[in-house]
Structure 1
Amino acid sequence: HAAMLMNAALYGDQNYTNQTTCPDPEAWDWLSTYQPAYILFIAVLGIVLNVFVLLVFCLHKKPCTVAEIYLSNLAVADLVLVSCLPFWAVNIYNDFNWPFGLFLCKVVNLGVKMNAYCSIYSLVLVSIDRYVALVHTMSHGRMRRPKYAKLGCLLVWGFGLLLGAPVLIFRTVEYIPDYDVYACYLKYPNLKVELFWDVMLIMLSFVIPISIISYCTIKIIQALKNQAMERFNAEKTEKKATTLVLAVLLAFLVCWVPFHIVTMLDVLARGLNLEGCSLIDFLELSNQFFSYLAFFNSVLNPILYVLVGKNFRKKVQEVLKQFLVMKTAMSESTRSSTLKTSSQIYEGLTGNINESQLFM
């Protein structure tokens, strides 16, 4: 029953309690055995790498560019996701008995959902920024200001919270007699409400943003091809930033598009009331596999910053130099203070000896 409970927990399947024969329980024994370790691996690695990225952006002496503001916002979204994953690892290891209460049931799953929404809309913003930087350089340069980028990031988080409303409203912790567990899952009042929210979220969190990203990406690639090789340093910097952005976009598409496609197929199957163990097995197995492929994107992004981002590697080197200079300065200050203190103690002792000799 692990697959059905996971599917209900993640996607709000209303009919899982009636599916007693499929999928085959023996085919899903690996779920509670291997997935917790995999989830914890992603969580630990993701937390370390995304905190590292944010520290580099925050500690660097120069202010972040517009593209870096969007990428740091993406790192925050990834950090939120990987920080929520350990709760799910415990939940799976505990045979889907949710031990953390209703509040964390809502908050943890809201964090997971908001990662998907905020990530894709952060990429929408960064795609538009690259589009403006390379395609409309002169006419829209004023739009590319850090204050507008920060405002855009705030709007993304607000919109992500709005799209996460079903999680706050319909997430619940209830006892499931068929499986003898207290499960944290989406419980919609009926199938019509469930399908309405699912279709709306698919449109707002996938179809519309992917269309914008695809259009901007095509225009960006065309602009890069049409540009001559002899350019100013500023435009070379823009190209370096664009290369990193395109790599991040590609990684996002590879990790998240399969998940959204399977989600759409799942909604279509429920809407048309399609049945059959083969179909259920396929959808639930695909949901499992592509969900954790999508989560791996939160680990992959920081790795791409280092491997592809030349400007980011330069920032890392400069931050390390700042740290070494500060450490050297502190070491010299401590050494100077120690020598001064030792000198004062020596002079005090010498003075005491001379005074005692006068009275002997």
Structure 2
Amino acid sequence: MDLEIRMGNFSPTSLLNSTECPSIDDFRNQVYSTAYSLITVFALVGNGFALLVLIRTSRQSSPFHIYMLNLAVSDILCVSTLPLRVIYYVNKGEWQLGDFVCRISSYALYVNLYCSIYFMAVMSVTRFLAIVFPVRNMSLITVRRSRFVCVAVWVLICLMSSPFLMSGQHFDPVTNKTKCFEPPKQIKGINKLVMLNYLSLAVGFLLPFLVILICYAGIIRTLLLRKMAAGHQTAAGKRAIRMIVIVLLTFLVCFMPYHVQRTVHLHFMSRTDASCEETVAMQKYVIIAMCFAASNSCFDPMLYFFSGEGFRNRMHSFRQSIDSRKNRRGIPGQEVRSNNHLDES
């Protein structure tokens, strides 16, 4: 099931009073096509550059580097499907790319959403151990273990998101169009949707967010104690503070509004006394919340650059490797020009 539209374009009142309530299709098409286009550009540029740097400097491997690399891959996979959604909404809600692509497009967005949450959680745990338990951290956090954790995260999230593969394209006889990212007009099993929502809310959002908050509380306490003892903040402490700000900002802007609005809308769907104004407003709120959720890929490059362990050093090494390659290519030409000059003299 695709919760983006299942909870954004569906409610009992919209089915009962579909002829009375105004359609939000124009609003939906404009907002999604514009938002997904902007997200695609910014996220593709930011994560593409970050992925290039991380791959080219992979010899300088560390646990944090492994997590950043996997997070960038997740973002790229998600962003690569957003243009398909743009095409769909530009075509005013008509899908022309087949059932399989429809399912994969829905699946990829939610895999990225929850992979981002979990990779941020394991990055926070890694930073917590490095600052609070620096001696034990050397034996607890290794490159090999970080790779195992990444595999576990991918497997867990891919399995958790598998329900999104169950819903593909379908034909809508009312509009005479093939639909994707939207449910059929009649949906059975609202209680099942509620259960799935609370499961994903607890396991996919609340649990990792709680872990992140606990880690950040420990990090801040340790940094405050060290600052009082030393009188200044270390470079590792500054990176940790930047990471806390960026991750919390991503959760507050992208993840929390979406999960709160999704839960509220599910309970709204059980109402029978909602007015058209309330129904339309709720549907618009869910669309906006979904756009913010998809924008999480734009925040991750900030995480790499401002708090990534040695990421700016990696960028410097990357530039040096490019410069040295250009110099090596330029040397033969310089020698030839020099010889020609001697011959002419």
Q: 202-211 vs 246-255, which deviates more?
A: 246-255
Unpaired segments ≥5 residues, structure 2:
none
Distance verdict in 2 for CA 1:252–1:310, change over 3 Å: same
Write the distance in 2 (CA, Å) between the matches of 1:12 and 1:24: 12
Which residue number in structure 2 is paired with residue 175 of structure 1? 171
Distance verdict in 2 for CA 1:164–1:330, change over 3 Å: same
Q: Once the 2 structures are TM-superposed, how far is the Cα of residue 102 of structure 1 from its aligned partner?
A: 0.8
Which residue number in structure 2 is paired with residue 354 of structure 1? none
Which residue number in structure 2 is paired with residue 206 of structure 1? 205
- Of 24, 38, 42, 2:39 maps to 42
Q: Once the 2 structures are TM-superposed, how far is the Cα of residue 65 of structure 1 from its aligned partner?
A: 2.3
Paired residue secondary structure (1:182): strand
Give 1 or 2 for the bigger CA radius of gyration: 1
Write the distance in 1 (CA, Å) between the matches of 2:142 and 2:309: 22
Q: Give the TM-score of the pair, scaled to structure 2.
A: 0.85
Distance verdict in 2 for CA 1:271–1:67, change over 3 Å: farther
Paired residue secondary structure (1:107): helix
Q: Once the 2 structures are TM-superposed, how far is the Cα of residue 190 of structure 1 from its aligned partner?
A: 2.2
User: Are the equivalent residues in 1 in contact too, given 2:64–2:308 (CA < 8 A)?
Assistant: no
- Of 134, 137, 160, 1:163 maps to 160
Write the distance in 2 (CA, Å) between the matches of 1:173 and 1:142: 49
Which residue number in structure 2 is paired with residue 322 of structure 1? 321
Paired residue secondary structure (2:95): coil
Which residue number in structure 2 is paired with residue 139 of structure 1? 136
1:93-108, aligned counterparts within 5 Å?
Answer: 93-108=90-105
Deviations 1:108-166 (A, max 9, x none): 11100101110101011111111211222233431111111111111111111111111
User: Does residue 1:238 correspond to 2:236, yes or no?
Assistant: yes
Aligned residues: percent identity?
21
1:186-335, aligned counterparts within 5 Å?
Answer: 186=183, 189-228=188-227, 236-253=234-251, 254-271=253-270, 275-306=274-305, 311-333=310-332
Q: 146-155 vs 222-231, which deviates more?
A: 222-231
- 2:22 maps to a residue whose letter is D
Which fold has the larger relative contact order, with Cα–Cα distance below 8 Å and residues 6 or more apart in sequence?
2
Which residue number in structure 1 is paired with residue 109 of structure 2? 112
Q: Once the 2 structures are TM-superposed, how far is the Cα of residue 306 of structure 1 from its aligned partner?
A: 3.5
Write the distance in 2 (CA, Å) between the matches of 1:305 and 1:7: 28
Q: 73-82 vs 110-119, which deviates more?
A: 73-82
Which residue number in structure 2 is paired with residue 31 of structure 1? 28
Unpaired segments ≥5 residues, structure 1:
347-360
Q: 296-305 vs 260-269, which deviates more?
A: 296-305
Q: Once the 2 structures are TM-superposed, how far is the Cα of residue 259 of structure 1 from its aligned partner?
A: 1.0
Distance verdict in 2 for CA 1:203–1:310, change over 3 Å: closer
Which residue number in structure 2 is paired with residue 350 of structure 1? none
Write the distance in 2 (CA, Å) between the matches of 1:146 and 1:186: 43
Q: Once the 2 structures are TM-superposed, how far is the Cα of residue 34 of structure 1 from its aligned partner?
A: 5.0
The root-mean-square deviation of aligned C-alpha atoms, in Å, is 3.0
